[in-house]
Amino acid sequence: MYAFIRGYLAEKDQNSAVIDAGGVGYLLSISYSTYAALPELGEEVKLYSHLSVREDAMELFGFADREELSVFKMLITVSGVGPKAALAILSELSPGRFALAVSAGDVKALTKAAGVGPKLAQRIVLELKDKIAKSGAEIPTGGADFLEAPAGSDAEEAAKALVVLGYSANEARAAVAKCQGDTVEELIRLALKQLM
């Protein structure tokens, strides 16, 4: 129903964002990676959206990019995975990392998300492995070599270090982009403060 919502960021926290579009405040539930990509309050923002309709509620979910929305829609087709569990998974894993985990059958990576146990993680792998292969999703080959920072730059090195520490590439990129430091160590320290 709503492809995306564009407006001014009125409120934000790690689980939701309110976008003022034409005088109406749209409350969208978001993942941590989308939260990390949000601008400052009052600035213009565009979030791709999904409207979930249940008997007792209608809820909007927002995503910083189409990849994340696509993975979200894929996840909610799995029996036992609701919108909240899908968001929890996307808060732990970027779309690329999720595709890698499912393709490799890495159940452990999926169970890091709140509310996802081993049985549900196995079901996700079983039901989505073929879909991901057919979708042609971009699967990272390792570490952080798919980060967009210029090769060899301090920002790239800092982002790689954050990925090694367990943050998703999206989180690492977004955190480092918001920091200004003279050395790799300083960038890592400042980015970790952002992520805490």
DSSP run (H or E) holding 61: strand 58-63
- Three-class SS state of 33: helix
| Residue 150 confidence (pLDDT) above 70 | no
| Calpha distance 52→45 (Å, rounded) | 21
Q: What integer pLDDT is reported at residue 89 of this predicted model?
A: 93
**Residues 6+ positions from 10 with CB-CB distance below 8 Å:** 18, 19, 20, 25, 41
Q: What integer pLDDT is reported at residue 137 of this predicted model?
A: 53
| Residue 27 confidence (pLDDT) above 70 | yes
Beta-bridge mates of residue 55: none
User: Using an 8 Å Cβ cutoff, are 191 and 158 in contact?
Assistant: yes
| Residue 12 confidence (pLDDT) above 80 | yes
What is the average pLDDT across 77-94?
Answer: 91
What is the average pLDDT across 73-95?
Answer: 91
In whole angstroms, how far apart are CA 31 and each of 1, 38, 84, 127?
Answer: 20, 11, 9, 22
Top pLDDT among 96 and 43 is at: 43
For 115-134, write each residue's pLDDT tens digit: 899 999 999 999 998 887 76
User: Which tokens belong to 69?
Assistant: 């929305």
User: Using an 8 Å Cβ cutoff, are 97 and 132 in contact?
Assistant: no
How confident is residue 135, by pLDDT bands cut at 50, 70 and 90? low
Beta-bridge mates of residue 27: 18
Residue matched to tokens 């890592």: 188
Q: What integer pLDDT is reported at residue 120 of this predicted model?
A: 93
Q: What integer pLDDT is reported at residue 147 of this predicted model?
A: 43
